[in-house]
Structure 1
Amino acid sequence: MDEEPGLSDQYPTASPWPLFVALGLALSEVGVFVGLFPVAVFGLILFGGSVAGILTESGYVERPWPTLVGVGVTLAAIAAAIAVLQLPAAELVVSNIGEGPLFTRLVAVVIAGGVMAAMGGVGSIMEQSTV
Protein backbone atom coordinates (compact mmCIF):
# COMPACT_ATOMS: atom_id res chain seq x y z
CA MET A 1 0.00 0.00 0.00
CA ASP A 2 1.11 3.52 -0.72
CA GLU A 3 1.58 5.80 2.23
CA GLU A 4 0.43 8.80 0.15
CA PRO A 5 -2.81 8.03 -1.65
CA GLY A 6 -3.47 9.74 -4.95
CA LEU A 7 -4.02 9.22 -8.63
CA SER A 8 -0.39 9.00 -9.76
CA ASP A 9 3.07 10.39 -9.07
CA GLN A 10 2.25 13.43 -11.20
CA TYR A 11 -1.02 14.11 -9.36
CA PRO A 12 -0.63 13.18 -5.69
CA THR A 13 -4.20 14.20 -4.81
CA ALA A 14 -7.46 14.57 -6.67
CA SER A 15 -8.68 18.03 -7.66
CA PRO A 16 -11.81 19.40 -5.93
CA TRP A 17 -12.79 21.56 -8.93
CA PRO A 18 -14.86 19.03 -10.91
CA LEU A 19 -17.24 18.67 -7.97
CA PHE A 20 -17.74 22.43 -7.80
CA VAL A 21 -18.18 22.72 -11.57
CA ALA A 22 -20.92 20.08 -11.46
CA LEU A 23 -22.57 21.59 -8.38
CA GLY A 24 -22.48 25.09 -9.87
CA LEU A 25 -23.94 23.89 -13.16
CA ALA A 26 -26.71 21.97 -11.40
CA LEU A 27 -27.60 24.88 -9.11
CA SER A 28 -27.59 27.36 -11.97
CA GLU A 29 -29.86 25.13 -14.06
CA VAL A 30 -32.30 24.66 -11.20
CA GLY A 31 -32.23 28.37 -10.38
CA VAL A 32 -32.70 29.57 -13.95
CA PHE A 33 -35.24 27.03 -15.12
CA VAL A 34 -37.33 26.94 -11.96
CA GLY A 35 -37.05 30.67 -11.44
CA LEU A 36 -35.23 30.79 -8.10
CA PHE A 37 -33.31 34.05 -8.43
CA PRO A 38 -30.72 33.66 -5.61
CA VAL A 39 -30.02 30.02 -6.50
CA ALA A 40 -29.46 30.95 -10.14
CA VAL A 41 -27.05 33.76 -9.28
CA PHE A 42 -25.11 31.65 -6.75
CA GLY A 43 -24.96 28.64 -9.08
CA LEU A 44 -23.67 30.69 -12.00
CA ILE A 45 -21.03 32.38 -9.84
CA LEU A 46 -19.95 28.99 -8.45
CA PHE A 47 -19.81 27.54 -11.97
CA GLY A 48 -17.79 30.45 -13.41
CA GLY A 49 -15.40 30.52 -10.47
CA SER A 50 -14.87 26.78 -10.67
CA VAL A 51 -14.17 26.93 -14.40
CA ALA A 52 -11.57 29.64 -13.74
CA GLY A 53 -10.08 27.56 -10.93
CA ILE A 54 -9.88 24.34 -12.90
CA LEU A 55 -8.28 26.09 -15.89
CA THR A 56 -5.71 27.70 -13.59
CA GLU A 57 -4.94 24.44 -11.78
CA SER A 58 -4.50 22.51 -15.00
CA GLY A 59 -2.09 25.11 -16.36
CA TYR A 60 -4.16 26.44 -19.26
CA VAL A 61 -4.08 29.93 -17.77
CA GLU A 62 -1.66 31.54 -15.32
CA ARG A 63 -4.20 33.42 -13.23
CA PRO A 64 -7.93 32.85 -12.69
CA TRP A 65 -8.98 36.52 -12.83
CA PRO A 66 -9.05 37.12 -16.59
CA THR A 67 -10.95 33.86 -17.07
CA LEU A 68 -13.48 34.92 -14.44
CA VAL A 69 -13.95 38.26 -16.19
CA GLY A 70 -14.34 36.50 -19.55
CA VAL A 71 -16.95 34.05 -18.27
CA GLY A 72 -18.86 36.84 -16.54
CA VAL A 73 -18.87 39.17 -19.54
CA THR A 74 -19.87 36.32 -21.85
CA LEU A 75 -22.80 35.30 -19.63
CA ALA A 76 -23.99 38.88 -19.22
CA ALA A 77 -23.69 39.61 -22.95
CA ILE A 78 -25.58 36.48 -23.99
CA ALA A 79 -28.39 37.15 -21.49
CA ALA A 80 -28.62 40.81 -22.52
CA ALA A 81 -28.72 39.85 -26.20
CA ILE A 82 -31.50 37.34 -25.57
CA ALA A 83 -33.44 39.97 -23.62
CA VAL A 84 -33.12 42.54 -26.40
CA LEU A 85 -33.96 40.07 -29.17
CA GLN A 86 -36.80 38.18 -27.48
CA LEU A 87 -38.63 40.74 -25.36
CA PRO A 88 -40.54 43.84 -26.41
CA ALA A 89 -38.77 47.09 -25.57
CA ALA A 90 -41.54 48.08 -23.13
CA GLU A 91 -40.75 45.06 -20.92
CA LEU A 92 -37.05 45.90 -20.57
CA VAL A 93 -37.58 48.07 -17.50
CA VAL A 94 -36.19 47.49 -14.01
CA SER A 95 -39.69 47.74 -12.53
CA ASN A 96 -40.66 44.59 -14.48
CA ILE A 97 -38.22 42.38 -12.56
CA GLY A 98 -40.32 39.68 -10.96
CA GLU A 99 -43.25 40.21 -13.32
CA GLY A 100 -42.15 38.28 -16.40
CA PRO A 101 -40.48 34.92 -15.89
CA LEU A 102 -38.10 35.23 -18.85
CA PHE A 103 -37.00 38.76 -17.98
CA THR A 104 -36.43 37.86 -14.31
CA ARG A 105 -34.30 34.85 -15.25
CA LEU A 106 -32.27 36.87 -17.73
CA VAL A 107 -31.68 39.54 -15.08
CA ALA A 108 -30.36 36.82 -12.75
CA VAL A 109 -27.87 35.71 -15.42
CA VAL A 110 -26.80 39.31 -16.13
CA ILE A 111 -26.30 39.98 -12.40
CA ALA A 112 -24.26 36.78 -11.98
CA GLY A 113 -22.13 37.74 -14.99
CA GLY A 114 -21.63 41.25 -13.62
CA VAL A 115 -20.62 39.93 -10.21
CA MET A 116 -18.14 37.51 -11.81
CA ALA A 117 -16.64 40.26 -13.95
CA ALA A 118 -16.35 42.53 -10.92
CA MET A 119 -14.77 39.76 -8.83
CA GLY A 120 -12.25 39.07 -11.59
CA GLY A 121 -11.42 42.74 -11.94
CA VAL A 122 -11.00 43.29 -8.21
CA GLY A 123 -8.96 40.09 -7.88
CA SER A 124 -6.66 41.20 -10.67
CA ILE A 125 -6.21 44.66 -9.13
CA MET A 126 -5.55 43.17 -5.70
CA GLU A 127 -3.03 40.73 -7.13
CA GLN A 128 -1.17 43.52 -8.94
CA SER A 129 -1.10 45.72 -5.85
CA THR A 130 0.52 42.98 -3.74
CA VAL A 131 3.21 42.16 -6.32
Structure 2
Amino acid sequence: MAEAEEPGLSDQYPTASPWPLFVALGLTLSEIGVFIGLFPVAVFGLILFGGSVAGILTESGYAERPWPTLLGVGAVLTVLAAALALWQIPLADIALSNVGEGPLLTRLVAVAVAGLVMAAMGSVASLLEQTAA
Protein backbone atom coordinates (compact mmCIF):
# COMPACT_ATOMS: atom_id res chain seq x y z
CA MET A 1 0.00 0.00 0.00
CA ALA A 2 1.42 3.40 -0.96
CA GLU A 3 2.02 6.02 1.68
CA ALA A 4 -0.41 8.91 1.75
CA GLU A 5 1.27 12.09 0.61
CA GLU A 6 0.98 15.21 2.70
CA PRO A 7 0.68 18.39 0.66
CA GLY A 8 3.41 20.95 1.20
CA LEU A 9 5.85 18.57 2.84
CA SER A 10 8.87 17.14 1.07
CA ASP A 11 11.00 14.07 1.70
CA GLN A 12 13.73 16.33 3.06
CA TYR A 13 11.42 17.95 5.63
CA PRO A 14 8.94 15.37 6.89
CA THR A 15 7.27 17.83 9.27
CA ALA A 16 6.46 21.50 9.07
CA SER A 17 8.77 24.00 10.74
CA PRO A 18 7.53 25.77 13.89
CA TRP A 19 9.62 28.90 13.24
CA PRO A 20 7.17 30.86 11.06
CA LEU A 21 4.62 30.81 13.89
CA PHE A 22 7.19 32.20 16.33
CA VAL A 23 8.36 34.83 13.83
CA ALA A 24 4.78 36.04 13.45
CA LEU A 25 4.10 35.93 17.20
CA GLY A 26 7.33 37.77 18.00
CA LEU A 27 6.65 40.43 15.40
CA THR A 28 3.09 40.89 16.64
CA LEU A 29 4.11 41.15 20.28
CA SER A 30 6.92 43.56 19.49
CA GLU A 31 4.59 45.78 17.45
CA ILE A 32 2.00 45.82 20.23
CA GLY A 33 4.64 46.49 22.87
CA VAL A 34 6.41 49.25 20.96
CA PHE A 35 3.34 51.08 19.66
CA ILE A 36 1.29 50.87 22.84
CA GLY A 37 4.34 51.43 25.03
CA LEU A 38 4.36 48.19 27.01
CA PHE A 39 8.07 47.83 27.81
CA PRO A 40 8.21 44.12 28.81
CA VAL A 41 5.99 43.03 25.91
CA ALA A 42 8.13 44.96 23.43
CA VAL A 43 11.37 43.48 24.76
CA PHE A 44 10.00 39.92 24.86
CA GLY A 45 8.47 40.23 21.38
CA LEU A 46 11.69 41.52 19.85
CA ILE A 47 13.76 38.79 21.50
CA LEU A 48 11.28 36.16 20.29
CA PHE A 49 11.38 37.64 16.78
CA GLY A 50 15.19 37.79 16.65
CA GLY A 51 15.58 34.30 18.05
CA SER A 52 13.06 32.92 15.59
CA VAL A 53 14.81 34.56 12.65
CA ALA A 54 18.08 33.01 13.83
CA GLY A 55 16.38 29.64 14.20
CA ILE A 56 14.73 29.70 10.79
CA LEU A 57 17.99 30.70 9.07
CA THR A 58 19.81 27.87 10.84
CA GLU A 59 17.12 25.31 10.03
CA SER A 60 17.02 26.27 6.38
CA GLY A 61 20.81 25.99 6.06
CA TYR A 62 21.65 29.66 5.52
CA ALA A 63 23.60 29.71 8.79
CA GLU A 64 25.55 26.97 10.53
CA ARG A 65 24.69 28.16 14.04
CA PRO A 66 22.04 30.58 15.32
CA TRP A 67 24.36 32.55 17.61
CA PRO A 68 26.06 34.85 15.07
CA THR A 69 22.67 35.69 13.56
CA LEU A 70 21.26 36.47 17.01
CA LEU A 71 24.27 38.68 17.70
CA GLY A 72 23.79 40.46 14.36
CA VAL A 73 20.06 41.07 14.83
CA GLY A 74 20.73 42.39 18.33
CA ALA A 75 23.46 44.71 17.11
CA VAL A 76 21.26 46.05 14.31
CA LEU A 77 18.38 46.75 16.72
CA THR A 78 20.69 48.48 19.20
CA VAL A 79 22.33 50.67 16.56
CA LEU A 80 18.98 51.61 14.99
CA ALA A 81 17.49 52.51 18.37
CA ALA A 82 20.52 54.62 19.28
CA ALA A 83 20.54 56.36 15.89
CA LEU A 84 16.83 57.17 16.09
CA ALA A 85 17.26 58.46 19.64
CA LEU A 86 20.09 60.76 18.61
CA TRP A 87 18.16 61.93 15.55
CA GLN A 88 14.73 62.51 17.11
CA ILE A 89 15.39 63.40 20.75
CA PRO A 90 17.34 66.43 21.98
CA LEU A 91 20.62 65.42 23.61
CA ALA A 92 19.62 67.08 26.89
CA ASP A 93 16.60 64.75 27.17
CA ILE A 94 18.54 61.52 26.59
CA ALA A 95 19.10 60.17 30.08
CA LEU A 96 18.02 57.03 31.89
CA SER A 97 16.15 59.19 34.40
CA ASN A 98 13.84 60.35 31.55
CA VAL A 99 12.91 56.86 30.32
CA GLY A 100 9.39 56.76 31.75
CA GLU A 101 8.52 60.35 30.81
CA GLY A 102 8.84 60.50 27.03
CA PRO A 103 7.00 57.91 24.97
CA LEU A 104 9.55 57.87 22.14
CA LEU A 105 12.55 57.51 24.42
CA THR A 106 10.85 54.73 26.40
CA ARG A 107 10.07 52.79 23.22
CA LEU A 108 13.57 53.24 21.84
CA VAL A 109 15.05 52.07 25.12
CA ALA A 110 12.88 48.93 24.89
CA VAL A 111 14.25 48.24 21.40
CA ALA A 112 17.82 48.89 22.55
CA VAL A 113 17.41 46.65 25.61
CA ALA A 114 16.06 43.82 23.44
CA GLY A 115 18.99 44.30 21.05
CA LEU A 116 21.52 44.27 23.87
CA VAL A 117 19.99 41.13 25.37
CA MET A 118 20.09 39.36 21.99
CA ALA A 119 23.67 40.47 21.36
CA ALA A 120 24.70 39.27 24.82
CA MET A 121 22.93 35.93 24.32
CA GLY A 122 24.59 35.43 20.95
CA SER A 123 28.02 36.37 22.28
CA VAL A 124 27.85 34.20 25.39
CA ALA A 125 26.45 31.21 23.50
CA SER A 126 29.19 31.51 20.86
CA LEU A 127 31.88 31.66 23.55
CA LEU A 128 30.40 28.68 25.40
CA GLU A 129 30.18 26.71 22.18
CA GLN A 130 33.81 27.47 21.33
CA THR A 131 35.09 26.50 24.79
CA ALA A 132 33.09 23.26 24.75
CA ALA A 133 34.55 22.20 21.41
Please point out which of 88, 97, 105 is paired with 1:103.
Answer: 105
> Runs ≥4 in structure 1, deviation > 4 angstroms?
3-6
**Equivalence map 1:70-81=2 (5 Å):** 70-81=72-83
Cα offset for 1:108? 0.2
- SS of residue matched to 1:54: helix
- Matched ranges for 1:1-131 at <5 A: 2=3, 7-131=9-133
Count the aligned residue pairs: 131
CA contact under 8 A between 1:4 and 1:12: conserved in structure 2? no
> What is the CA deviation profile of residues 34-83 of structure 1, one whole-angstrom value per residue up to 9, with x for unaligned ones?
00000000000000000000000000010111100000000000010000
Measured on the aligned residues, the alpha-carbon RMSD in Å equals 1.4
Q: Distance in 2 between matches of 1:33 and 1:2?
A: 49
5+ long unaligned stretches in structure 1:
none
Distance 2:3 2:14 in 1: 11
CA distance in 2: counterparts of 1:22 and 1:48, whole angstroms: 11
Give ranges in structure 2 of 5+ residues lacking alignment: none
User: Could you tell me how far apart the structure 1 residues matched to 2:12 and 2:34 are?
Assistant: 39
SS of aligned partner of 2:100:
coil
Tell me the secondary structure at the aligned position of residue 62 of structure 2. Answer: coil
Determine if contact 1:80/1:110 at 8 Å carries over to the other structure.
Answer: yes
**Cα deviation, residue 3, structure 1:** 7.2
Q: Percent identity?
A: 73
